Structure 1
């Protein structure tokens, strides 16, 4: 069992399986993390060209590429609601 942990936004390539229907594309993107199933990590993956998300085990992922965004990621420095910026009605 691998101890690789993927993150949301990683591009992944799914392994071919005899029980799977032939996919038009095996490349997808991780869009969510799911609770572990018998100790193995599960992910929600959106495969290119499909309109639904798949539930994929970590062992079904062949390899991943880290998403490279040019935009800086937002960092949380405090609560999203600023009490002094909210105006009270008269």
Structure 2
């Protein structure tokens, strides 16, 4: 339970009962990964129709309907995004 199964930017589906109405859209995007709370992975998520973020735990995610996290290599190849921190560009003064 200690390691996150999803990464920032993943679209997930929440279990029923966590949104106000049954007809509400349960799909949201992970905006950040929070520190563990007693061994439970926590995420900050945001729905498209809302302008605020919610805190959920790994247990709140419907793993049957949410796509499993792809390997980091496959995710990097698929979206073509570059990391925001490039270690080769860091210069250390001596």
Same fold by TM (over 0.5)? yes
1:79 positional shift: 3.1
Tell me the TM-score normalised to structure 1 length.
Answer: 0.69
Partner of 2:82: 74
Q: Which structure is higher in helix share?
A: 2
Confirm or deny: 8 A CA contact 1:12 1:27 kept in the other structure: yes
Structure with higher Rg: it is 1
Tell me the TM-score normalised to structure 2 length.
Answer: 0.66
Query: Cα deviation per residue 1:7-26 (whole Å; 9 max; x = unaligned)?
Result: 01110000012x75226210
Please state if 1:46 is matched with 2:46: yes
CA distance in 2 between counterparts of 1:35 and 1:4 reads 10
Aligned CA-pair RMSD: 3.1
Cα gap change, 1:79 to 1:10, in 2 (>3 Å)? same
1:77 positional shift: 4.1
The SS at the match of 2:8 is coil
Question: What 5-or-longer segments of structure 1 have no aligned partner?
Answer: 84-90
Q: How many residues align?
A: 82
Confirm or deny: 8 A CA contact 2:2 2:36 kept in the other structure: no
Q: Which structure is higher in strand share?
A: 1
